[in-house]
Structure 1
């Protein structure tokens, strides 16, 4: 196993924490995450350190308010990966079900009300001994991830460097993903197809909210 392969799950675990709602758990573990980030390859660790510097120099209430304003109030920065491919359509329910099946097969259980496609959840899953499946899930939604990363960069968001770190752990962006990203940027996620029956039970349909 190469050094990069060994470090990637460690980076995913740190990214998962920093992309979660910045509660006391995040604040309390910031020092440990910085120590870990400083030992990672620069392509993985630099973005994490940049965010941790912001975290350490900004009042917790301000960080929390910025998180909500960024990820809860702007659809372009939705932390729910299936939103980019399926919007709020019924087809998204089947996509969410696929995530849940992957987690259940690996013995991972989600907290009540926690959607399986939240980027922090996917990264935590990938870091917890499920690298191959986690990487596949991330790559399947690469276009949306990349669109979110570039949008955060344009808005000088403190979370942009964390997305840079995530992107560094993934394969280079291919032509198909670039094309899909450009299409998303131009047209946005699909809208509901009127008249179609749900593709999955109601409990798997998306609900608004932020992972906390």
Structure 2
């Protein structure tokens, strides 16, 4: 597996919800990355170090607040390109069809435009998956900028991904800002720990 494929797989795992196996997954990702070199690898390793000691409930709560409670920071790529329009339904159907054409189907019930799903597809089937990432480069850039504005450690994960992609063409219009940033990490508040993607 070349470096970009490894980075895409690692990024898919690091952008996934921090479930009960996160504590096992994180050191495995970090160990695999230490075999590689490059600025994108350093960014991902920095994220691994920063989150390694955070309590799981804090990580889970932070993940939900970061990605699920702001349309500006959603991990669903077609939101940036198509919004809530009929075009988005067609784009989702096209992605699902592309996955099936290459014998791959996400197994976690996520929508096909969920960034970790797209990244895993690119890692497993690069010939078909890399063009999908290139197509959504503008969306990736908007998400990266929103995460940086929010001062989220996930911004480094998106920066690592950006290092593997060519420059974008015209960008989609940004989604309006919704909420002020919350420092990381935070303590889970009552009711948050049960929130799941």
Fold similarity call, TM over 0.5? yes
For 1:211 and 1:110, the matched residues in 2 are separated by 18
User: Displacement of 1:37 after TM fit?
Assistant: 1.6
- Unaligned 5+ residue runs, structure 1? 189-209
User: Displacement of 1:14 after TM fit?
Assistant: 0.6
User: Displacement of 1:61 after TM fit?
Assistant: 0.4
For 2:101, the equivalent position in structure 1 comes to 105
User: Displacement of 1:211 after TM fit?
Assistant: 8.5
Instruction: Tell me whether 1:162 sits opposite 2:173 in the alignment.
Output: no
Structure 2 counterparts to residues 23-172 of structure 1, below 5 A? 23-111=19-107, 113-128=109-124, 130-171=125-166
Deviation per CA, 1:30-62: give whole Å up to 9, x if none.
111111122222222111112111221211100
Deviation per CA, 1:45-80: give whole Å up to 9, x if none.
111112111221211100100000010001111100
Going by fraction, where is helix more abundant, 1 or 2?
Answer: 1
SS state at 1:24 partner = coil
- Which runs of at least 4 in structure 1 moved beyond 4 Å after TM superposition? none
* RMSD between superposed Cα atoms in Å: 1.9
User: Displacement of 1:152 after TM fit?
Assistant: 0.7
For 1:48 and 1:59, the matched residues in 2 are separated by 19
Asked if structure 1 preserves the Cα contact closer than 8 Å seen for 2:44 and 2:156, the reply is: yes
For 2:191, the equivalent position in structure 1 comes to none
Could you tell which deviates more after superposition, 40-49 or 76-85? 40-49
